[in-house]
Structure 1
Amino acid sequence: MPPTPISPPDGSDILTLASPAFDAAYPRVVNRELIPQPILQSMEWAWNTPRFPERPVRVLRLADVWVAKEGLVFDRGGNLYRETITQHSAGEVEQAHAAVLAAMEQGGVEADADGPVLLCKKRGIGNYGHWMMEMLPKAWLVHQHLPALSARFLVAHVPGHLNDSMAQSMAMLGIDLSRTIVADDAPRRFTDLLVVDGLSEHGGYMSPLVLDALDALAGVVPAAGAERLFVTRQATGFRRVVGEDSLIARAQTLGYTLVEPGVLTLPQQASLFKGARKIVGVMGAAMTNIAFAAPGARVVTLTPAGMPDTFFWFIATLRGLDYTEVRCPQSGPVQGVMPWDTDLLLSADDQDRIFAD
């Protein structure tokens, strides 16, 4: 049986910030006609919003709770706080609920009672973009605005390079890594948990306040000298342009620096994108680094025709970037986990277009 979604008790808000209103413009989309209508409709409600009004961002303090899966929070009665449902499927919610109820029945799980812990886990824990734009900003907000709490930070257990980026990003913001708690999906109990609500709704909203963390992070690295970047997904192995080698060769003859973010440290990535004035790359987590670019920088994302995404448009809007999506026909089998994880076809005209000044 699914859990009952509930709201935090009265008095749970310990801090409320005003997230500023901002204007937005419909993105420049090349080959818009290739986008399937259901996919287009899922994005257009955001794209057609000319102004996102001011809204509150809250820090909630919850007592005696359980955290399971990718940041789902349950009270001691097994009810689910609706603010922590972030793109979780009904099946994932039910699995987490069952695991929490089982842990309650078995007993023996000691609650963490060593002071407040900030929830820095949400759906999408294995994605660099989700971490940088949706989880890290929560850590920075509490670190900056509520230092007297001496909060600790609950983060996800993730593999390899992303784990390094997570650690580097927190350290660059002056957060003591000894104050992090690394957790898997198993239920954990906390007597004092902090939850930040309102910074983002993946696909539907992104607060200008998320840029505070990125600005603080970029402030500790110098801008690199490369003005043009071509971002490749060679290490990823899917969602690549057919014939990318020749495309890369052309980019390099035009003065573009080839960038493979997955093999760079976070400071190196921030430095490169901070100094760039033109950035071209296939839409994917590595392009999150456009958030380090200066206002006015030109960004071209090569995007699968069937990929529903407003994430990078939000980043570009908040940062004041000149943003273009080139929608590409998809080719070959699905190689990742999503239907748009195929290779991409880029026409000769579109190749000319992406490199035009």
Structure 2
Amino acid sequence: MRPTPISPPDDSVILSLTSPGFDAAYPRVVNKELIPELVLQSMEWAWNTRRFPERPVRVLRLTDVWVAKEGLVFDREGNLYRETITQHSAGEIDQAHAAVLDAIGRGGPEAEPEAGVPVLLCKKRGIGNYGHWMMEMLPKAQLVHRHLPELAVRFLVAHAPGHLNDSMAQSLSMLGIDLARTIVADDTPRRFADLLLVDGLTEHGGYMSPLVFDGVEALVASVPAAGAERLFVTRRATGFRRVVGEDDLIAHAQARGYALVDPGALPLPQQVSLFKGATRIVGVMGAAMTNIAFAPPGAQVVTLTPAGMPDTFFWFIAMLRGLDYTEVRCPQSGPIRGNMPWDTDLVLSPEDRDRIFAE
């Protein structure tokens, strides 16, 4: 049975901030005609929004709740807090609900609430994606760490694979958060006596608060800028969503003064340092390009984007950071190598390549 969505009571709000309104501009899109109509429609409602009004960002405090899967929160009866549904599929919600009801039914020691200080939820859908962590989960930790230090909270984060786990730990440390105060959890339901939720900072694909960049600024301030002004961001390590003939493209970029960078192979402070000093950044749209958030206002950014990829995430980052942003939509080629239909190879025309790297 599908869980009943509920909202927290009004008295659960322990902090309310006003996220400033901001103006928006339609992005510069090259080869827009290649975008399938349905994909274009899914983005244009945001792209055509000229003004995002101010809105509240709230910190909510809940008692005796269960957390399951990628940050879904249920009350003691198994009702689901709708504020924690973040791109979860119906199937994922049903699986989490069934697991929580089973845990409630078993009772016993494993169902006892975790006692002690409040725990802040820093998990949401997309736990394996660097961009989701940096722009949607980490900002919650920074906000509570900054505005509610007296609570001395602990931070509930997801277990992430390999290098992402290192980046998560490094980012928390760079914000001054003691890693001993983190709780690392998998999908298994866990019960908490005192849980904090941050609501209103982001809606993936639809909204990003300027308050997110308080954490970005803190990370940028913690390291010096590196010397490279031009960066070409490669996806060699991922094995998908790569440009056909990338070796030639890299040689072309390097001949024009671009440094080759694979962010996934670098510790986070070095990534921040590199992008902090960059004034021109070119790369295929993907998690590594989240680092444009660290670039200085006015930096020129070009994302090479699969024609069929529906995405406004990087546009929001560029807009709020004050970057000169261009998407070059590229024909897709070959089989799907990742999880999504746009995880194919990309074809960049010689004409587009020359325009991108022209002085």
TM-score normalized by the length of structure 1: 1.00
Q: Deviations over 1:304-341 (max 9, x none)?
A: 00000000000000000000000000000000000000
2:193 maps to which residue?
A: 191
1:313 maps to which residue?
A: 315
2:185 maps to amino acid: A
Q: Percent identity?
A: 81
Q: Which of 123, 126, 136 matches 1:124? A: 126
1:51 maps to which residue?
A: 51
2:216 maps to which residue?
A: 214
User: Partner of 1:11: helix, strand, or coil?
Assistant: helix
User: Partner of 1:14: helix, strand, or coil?
Assistant: strand
Cα distance in 2, alignment partners of residues 235 and 78 from structure 1: 41
2:298 maps to which residue?
A: 296
Cα distance in 2, alignment partners of residues 113 and 22 from structure 1: 41
Cα distance in 1, alignment partners of residues 262 and 336 from structure 2: 22
Cα distance in 1, alignment partners of residues 290 and 6 from structure 2: 33
**1:191-340 pair list within 5 angstroms:** 191-340=193-342
Cα distance in 1, alignment partners of residues 356 and 234 from structure 2: 14
1:5 maps to which residue?
A: 5
Cα distance in 2, alignment partners of residues 101 and 356 from structure 1: 59
Cα distance in 2, alignment partners of residues 277 and 352 from structure 1: 18
2:14 maps to amino acid: I
User: Partner of 1:287: helix, strand, or coil?
Assistant: helix
1:138 maps to which residue?
A: 140
- 1:2 deviates by 0.5
1:99 maps to which residue?
A: 99
1:102 maps to amino acid: D
2:126 maps to amino acid: G
1:67 maps to which residue?
A: 67
Cα distance in 1, alignment partners of residues 114 and 162 from structure 2: 27
Cα distance in 2, alignment partners of residues 353 and 332 from structure 1: 25
Cα distance in 1, alignment partners of residues 76 and 9 from structure 2: 13
Cα distance in 1, alignment partners of residues 206 and 219 from structure 2: 25
The 4+ residue runs of structure 1 with deviation greater than 2 A are none
User: Partner of 2:197: helix, strand, or coil?
Assistant: strand
**1:74-113 pair list within 5 angstroms:** 74-108=74-108, 109=110, 110-113=112-115
Cα distance in 2, alignment partners of residues 356 and 60 from structure 1: 50
- 1:186 deviates by 0.3
Cα distance in 2, alignment partners of residues 333 and 204 from structure 1: 29
User: Partner of 2:10: helix, strand, or coil?
Assistant: coil
Cα distance in 1, alignment partners of residues 207 and 307 from structure 2: 22
1:17 maps to which residue?
A: 17
Q: Deviations over 1:25-50 (max 9, x none)?
A: 00000000000000000000000000
Q: Which of 148, 155, 158 matches 1:156? A: 158
User: Partner of 2:282: helix, strand, or coil?
Assistant: strand
2:40 maps to amino acid: L
2:169 maps to which residue?
A: 167
Cα distance in 2, alignment partners of residues 338 and 36 from structure 1: 15
- 1:218 deviates by 1.2
1:325 maps to amino acid: E
Cα distance in 2, alignment partners of residues 114 and 68 from structure 1: 20
TM-score normalized by the length of structure 2: 0.99
Q: Deviations over 1:161-192 (max 9, x none)?
A: 00000000000110000000000000000000
1:22 maps to amino acid: F
User: Partner of 2:133: helix, strand, or coil?
Assistant: helix
Structure 1 stretches lacking a partner, 5+ long: none
Cα distance in 2, alignment partners of residues 17 and 275 from structure 1: 31
User: Partner of 1:302: helix, strand, or coil?
Assistant: strand
- 1:10 deviates by 2.3
**How much is the aligned-residue C-alpha RMSD, in angstroms?**
0.5
